[in-house]
Amino acid sequence: MFDFSLVRYLPKDANIPFISMRWVAMVLSIIGIIASIFLFSTRNLNYGIDFKGGTVLEFSIGVDPQAELENIRILGTSLVEGEVGLQTIARLADEETGAERPDGLRLSIPKQPALEGADNDDKAQTAAFKKVEAAMVAAYPNYEFLSEQILGTKVSGELKKKGAMAVILALLMVLIYIWFRFEWQFGAGAVAALAHDVILTIGVFSLTRLEFNLSIVAAILTIVGYSLNDTVIVYDRIRENTRKYKTKPLEEVLNLSINDTLSRTIMTSVTTLLALVALYIWGGTGLNGFAFAMIWGVFVGTYSSIFVAAPILMLLGVKRSGVQK
Partner 1 sequence: MLHFSRVKIFFIMGAIVLGILFSMPNVLPVGVRDNLPAPLPRNTLNLGLDLQGGAHFLLEVDVKDGVANKLKAESSDIRKILRGERVRTAAPVRVDKEEPYINVTFKTFADEEAGLPLLEARSEPIDENKINSARTLNIENISELRYRVSLTDEMVSYMTERTINQSIKVLRDRIDPTGTMELTLAKEGSERILLQVPGADNEEVKKIESVIEKTAHLSFHEVKNPDSPLELQVCIEEQTCPPGTSAYLDEERGTYLLLTERPILTGADLKKSDPGLAPQTNQPIVNFTYNFAGANKFCDYTSEHVGELFAIVLDGKIISAPNIKGAICGGSGYIEGNFTIQSAKELALLLNAGALPAKLRVAYKTQVGPEMGADSIRAGKAASMLGLLGVALFMWLSYGLRFGTIANTALAINIVLIAGALSILGATLTLPGIAGIILTIGMAVDANVLIFERIREESALGRGPINAVDTGYRLSLAPILDANITTLIAALTLYFVGSGPIRGFAVTLAIGIVMSVFTAVVVARLMSAVWLRRARPKTLPI
The yes or no reply on residue 15 touching partner 1 (CB under 8 A) is: no
Least spacing, CB of residue 275 vs partner 1, in Å = 3
How far apart are the two ends of the chain, measured CA to CA in Å? Answer: 50
- The residues pairing with 86 across neighbouring beta strands, listed in sequence order, are 107
- State the CB neighbour count (10 A cutoff) for residue 67: 8
Site map 106..135 versus partner 1, x via CB under 8 A: -------------xx-xx-xx---------
Smaller CB separation from partner 1, 119 or 325: 119
d(CA 108, CA 217): 21
Least spacing, CB of residue 316 vs partner 1, in Å = 19
The yes or no reply on residue 243 touching partner 1 (CB under 8 A) is: no
Nearest to 198, CA basis, from 37, 75, 10: 37
- Asked whether the beta carbons of 161 and 51 are under 8 A apart, the reply is no
Report in angstroms the alpha-carbon separations of 48 from 106, 213, 283: 13, 5, 20
The yes or no reply on residue 87 touching partner 1 (CB under 8 A) is: no
**For residue 100, which phi and psi values (nearest 5 degrees)?**
-65, 140
Q: Under rule CB under 8 A, which residues in 245-304 are in contact with partner 1?
A: 260-261, 263-264, 267-268, 270-279, 281-284, 286-287, 290-291, 294
Phi-psi map region of 305: left, alpha, beta (phi>0 left; psi -120 to 50 alpha): alpha
Least spacing, CB of residue 225 vs partner 1, in Å = 4
Nearest to 72, CA basis, from 84, 80, 82, 63: 84
Smaller CB separation from partner 1, 244 or 246: 244
Judged by CB under 8 A, the number of residues near partner 1 is 85
Smaller CB separation from partner 1, 24 or 63: 63
The yes or no reply on residue 102 touching partner 1 (CB under 8 A) is: no
Nearest to 25, CA basis, from 317, 312, 297, 316: 312
The yes or no reply on residue 197 touching partner 1 (CB under 8 A) is: no
Smaller CB separation from partner 1, 46 or 126: 126
Least spacing, CB of residue 31 vs partner 1, in Å = 27
Of the ranges 72-80, 219-227, 242-250, 306-314, which one interacts with partner 1 (CB under 8 A)? 219-227
Residues sharing a CB contact under 8 Å with residue 94, sequence separation 6 or more, in sequence order: 100, 101
Q: Under rule CB under 8 A, which residues in 25-54 are in contact with partner 1?
A: none
d(CA 293, CA 76): 31
Least spacing, CB of residue 230 vs partner 1, in Å = 8
Of the ranges 4-12, 18-26, 30-38, 317-325, which one interacts with partner 1 (CB under 8 A)? 4-12
Query: For partner 1, which residue of 136, 174, 193, 256 counts as binding (CB under 8 A)?
Result: 174
